Amino acid sequence: MALKKLTIVVPAFNEEEILSSSVQRLREIQSTMIDQQQISDTSDFIIVDDGSTDRSWSIIAELHDQHPYVRGLRFSRNFGHQSALIAGMKEAIKTADLIVTIDADLQDDPDKIFDMVEKAAAGADIVYGIRNNRESDSWFKRTTAQGYYATLRLLGVNLIPNHADFRLMSKRAVETLMTYPERNMFLRGIIPKLGFPTEAVYYKRTPRLAGESKYPLKKMLAFAWDGITSLTVAPIRFILILGVLACLIALGMVVYVVVMHLSGRVVPGWSSLMVSLWFISGMQMISLGVIGEYIGKLTTEVKDRPRYTIETKLN
């Protein structure tokens, strides 16, 4: 039986400090598997430059000139991490049987690719890389991450806890993923919906060898919100429940005012009226904001704009 081709997709944004060393380490892993006849000797890389402003693309071009197994895609601007992953996978399935996605910083343990390929050979179409501890994270990041996973579970979202975008997928799994046309794709929530046989490998994340994280708090919060609004309409249903509760409270207040009026008592209503006004106005603004977020995403989908624009392709 012919050996399967493995393509490793590496999204990169301003990673000039570590790109060369990361590719070298990943190639060593590929070479070992090639020698052990686990994968085909045509196995390669696709590095997706997500609109970097440093020397990342120059380094990718140099690696491509030096090594035939390095391919590159360059976006015309920064389209985001998820778009870079999708572009790399879409290009990879043209020739690959197995696709692994891993960030350029290699904080996710690349040695686990050995285990992923073994599980794929045993029949798994998707193999998730899952962190088995978060000791390297700050207390704030660890607590907010666990809270986020718990919130999504309450909202009915099937998300793999402590899994980011380090995974292996078979050709048919990626082909199925590519049939999802939405622009605002949240891969961590969409991939569990595919329904193919899955396995998991567990690892401990390591610190970056060089450079800084490309996901500061602001981006992390935006990414988390995208995940919620892309996968569930529960926030809108929650607004409906709040609206019903507000109406019930308002009816209770009407009964209270009538009773106080009939009993001849004077109700000092200015303070309570102001508090109620500000509270209800605030809830209305929040509700409009949440609904507007969904309408904005629908508008983006209806316009059917491309997820990304590829400026240069190195094959």
Give the total residue count for the chain: 315
- Helix 19-35 to helix 56-66 angle (10° resolution) is 30
Whether the Cβ atoms of residue 50 and residue 85 lie closer than 8 Å to each other:
no
The amino acid occupying position 44 is D
Neighbours of 166 (CB within 10 A): 25
Quick check: 51 pLDDT over 90?
A: yes
Query: Which pLDDT value is given to residue 306?
Result: 83
Cα distance between residue 97 and residue 118, in whole Å? 14
Query: Which pLDDT value is given to residue 253?
Result: 66
Query: Which pLDDT value is given to residue 57?
Result: 96
pLDDT tens digits along 187-243? 888 898 898 999 999 998 887 665 565 555 566 666 666 666 666 666 766 776 776
Quick check: 175 pLDDT over 90?
A: yes
Query: Which pLDDT value is given to residue 264?
Result: 66
**pLDDT tier, 245 (very low <50, low <70, confident <90, very high otherwise):** confident
**Which one is predicted more confidently, 36 or 182?**
36
Residue 16 neighbours by CB under 8 Å, 6+ apart? 52, 54, 55, 56, 59, 211
Which of the given ranges, 31-35, 219-223, 266-270, has the highest pLDDT on average?
Answer: 31-35
Query: Which pLDDT value is given to residue 186?
Result: 79
Which of the given ranges, 14-23, 137-146, 282-291, has the highest pLDDT on average?
Answer: 14-23
**Which one is predicted more confidently, 296 or 267?**
296
Query: Which pLDDT value is given to residue 292?
Result: 72
Least confident of 9-23, 52-66, 127-141, 243-257: 243-257
- Which residues on adjacent β-strands are paired with residue 168? 100, 127
Residue entry with tokens 């020397």: 55
Quick check: 297 pLDDT over 60?
A: yes
12: left (phi over 0), alpha (psi -120 to 50) or beta: beta
**Per-position b or e across 26-59, b if 16+ CB within 10 A of its CB:** bbebbeebbeeebbbeebbbbbbbbbbeeebbeb
Query: Which pLDDT value is given to residue 288?
Result: 75
**pLDDT tier, 64 (very low <50, low <70, confident <90, very high otherwise):** very high
**Which one is predicted more confidently, 266 or 243?**
243
Q: Give the percent of the chain with pLDDT over 70.
A: 72
Mean pLDDT for all residues in the chain:
82
Whether the Cβ atoms of residue 70 and residue 144 lie closer than 8 Å to each other:
no
**Which one is predicted more confidently, 282 or 176?**
176
Handedness of CA 136, 139, 143, 144 (dihedral sign): negative
Query: Which pLDDT value is given to residue 118?
Result: 96
pLDDT tens digits along 70-97? 999 999 999 989 899 999 999 999 999 9
**Per-position b or e across 169-190, b if 16+ CB within 10 A of its CB:** bbbebbebbeeeeebbbbbbbe
Query: Which pLDDT value is given to residue 271?
Result: 47
Whether the Cβ atoms of residue 173 and residue 125 lie closer than 8 Å to each other:
yes
The amino acid occupying position 259 is V
Whether the Cβ atoms of residue 72 and residue 57 lie closer than 8 Å to each other:
yes
- Interval 23-29 mean pLDDT: 95
- Interval 56-77 mean pLDDT: 95
3-state secondary structure 208-241: CCCCCCCCCHHHHHHHHHHHHHHHCCHHHHHHHH
